[in-house]
């Protein structure tokens, strides 16, 4: 058989493994044919492995980072001045430069159409109730439901603008704490909500334990619209969100993570937001869920800042409730 295969190789004739097996069986005595047949599977596997190994190729991937951009996260609530956080992004593949992260020299203006407020950078009076303590805070323009607010940011010699409106606040009908099955003294915050008729409403939920949290914290999927709940009345619940910037005074108890205790006083903040604000936070949360997951589809965060910056300028019409301890 070796001679036959050598002849085929010299003639540059390509045969499959099965064809070579037939040639071998036809050109040997019966006893040899049986022996070859018994080892045919082993021969096929060895040749297949050889062919697969010879077809491997090293692939070198070059990681291309994104553009350097300004990131703006601004908000204005009913009864409060505007707050705007301005930072620079860090494209993939670049080392994060903390000295260049905060844009403290920006010029930030908020107008309600008749009064323009010049926001001031708050350092060294940091705001520990914010998701990021370094921010610009207004003084003269206070949020009013139904009014439209115009944001202008000048940073790195570029101008960025956006517009938002504070929707009318919508009050929750009732709120309560409820224990989860098999979770002794641990549960979620519940609410009953009668959603006003009319497609286009959107909402954002957050909660705070006054003796444990520095700020209102939103859990995952805290933003939703009324596409499937328009005009309906229903119960819903949220778990306890986690503050990544919290300074713990004691090691966390993992079994309590995501739950409220029956001894907790819980402040609920329920805000009406416009479509663009809701879309930003919904896509932001979706991107957080897929970050680092090699099997997830890419997800883009959709903002409403004009001029090339990333981020959001949102108006919040907020109502508040309190859940007392359930002892």
Calculate mean pLDDT across residues 1-12. Answer: 41
Whole-number pLDDT of residue 156: 93
Residues 6 or more apart from 146 whose CB is under 8 A from it? 165, 166, 167, 168
Whole-number pLDDT of residue 265: 97
pLDDT for 21 beyond 60: no
Distance CA 234, CA 223 (A): 17
Distance CA 242, CA 231 (A): 31
Q: Where are the domains of the chain?
A: 2-54, 70-165, 174-323
Q: Determine contact, residues 161/151, Cβ cutoff 8 Å.
A: yes
Calculate mean pLDDT across residues 70-76. Answer: 97
Distance CA 60, CA 55 (A): 16
Which residue has better confidence, 67 or 211? 211
Calculate mean pLDDT across residues 6-25. Answer: 38
Which residue has better confidence, 115 or 48? 115
CATH 2.60.40 fits 70-165, yes or no: yes
Beta strands in the chain (DSSP E): 70-77, 81-88, 107-111, 116-118, 120-121, 136-142, 148-155, 158-165, 174-179, 186-194, 202-208, 223-225, 233-238, 260-261, 266-273, 310-323
Whole-number average pLDDT of the chain: 82
Alpha-carbon distances, residue 261 vs 184, 222, 238 (angstroms): 9, 20, 13
Calculate mean pLDDT across residues 31-38. Answer: 46
Whole-number pLDDT of residue 8: 33
Which residues sit opposite 206 in a β-bridge? Answer: 269
96: exposed, middle or buried (Cβ count in 10 Å: 0-12, 13-18, 19+): exposed
Q: Give backbone dihedrals phi and psi of 84, rounded to 5 degrees, phi first.
A: -135, 125
- Most distant pair of Cα atoms in the chain: their distance: 104
Whole-number pLDDT of residue 307: 97
pLDDT digits (tens, 9 = 90+) for 185-203: 999 999 999 999 998 999 9
Cα–Cα nearest to 218, from 278, 274, 156: 278
Distance CA 178, CA 326 (A): 9
Distance CA 295, CA 284 (A): 18
Q: Cα(first)–Cα(last) distance of the chain, in Å? A: 88
Q: Which two tokens stand for residue 38?
A: 């018994």
């Amino acid at each position: 058989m070796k001679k036959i295969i050598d002849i085929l190789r010299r003639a540059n004739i390509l045969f499959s493994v099965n064809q070579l097996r037939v040639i071998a069986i036809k050109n040997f005595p019966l006893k040899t044919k049986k022996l070859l047949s018994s080892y045919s599977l082993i021969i096929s596997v060895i040749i297949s492995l050889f062919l697969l190994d010879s077809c491997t190729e090293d692939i070198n991937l070059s990681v291309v980072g994104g553009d350097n951009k300004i990131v703006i996260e601004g908000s204005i609530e009913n009864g409060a001045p505007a707050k705007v956080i301005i930072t620079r992004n860090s494209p993939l593949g670049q080392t994060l430069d903390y000295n260049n992260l905060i844009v403290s020299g920006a010029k930030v203006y908020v107008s309600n159409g008749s009064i323009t407020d010049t926001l001031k950078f708050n350092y060294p009076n940091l705001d520990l109730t914010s998701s990021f303590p370094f921010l610009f805070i207004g003084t003269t323009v206070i949020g009013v439901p139904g009014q439209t607010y115009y944001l202008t940011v000048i940073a790195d010699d570029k101008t960025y603008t956006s517009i938002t409106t504070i929707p009318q606040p919508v009050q929750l009908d009732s709120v309560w704490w409820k224990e989860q099955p098999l979770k002794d003294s641990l549960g979620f915050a519940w609410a009953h909500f009668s959603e006003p008729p009319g497609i286009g409403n959107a909402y954002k939920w957050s909660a705070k334990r006054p003796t444990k949290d520095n700020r209102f914290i939103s859990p995952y999927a805290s933003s939703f619209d009324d596409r499937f709940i328009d005009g309906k009345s229903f119960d819903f619940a949220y778990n306890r969100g986690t503050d990544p910037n919290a300074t713990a005074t004691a090691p966390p108890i993992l079994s309590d993570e995501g739950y409220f205790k029956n001894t907790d006083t819980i402040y609920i903040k329920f805000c009406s937001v416009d479509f663009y604000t809701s879309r930003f936070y919904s896509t932001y949360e979706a991107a957080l869920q897929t970050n680092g997951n090699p099997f997830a589809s890419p997800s883009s965060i959709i903002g409403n800042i004009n001029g090339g910056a990333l981020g959001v300028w949102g108006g919040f019409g907020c109502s508040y409730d309190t859940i007392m301890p359930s002892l």
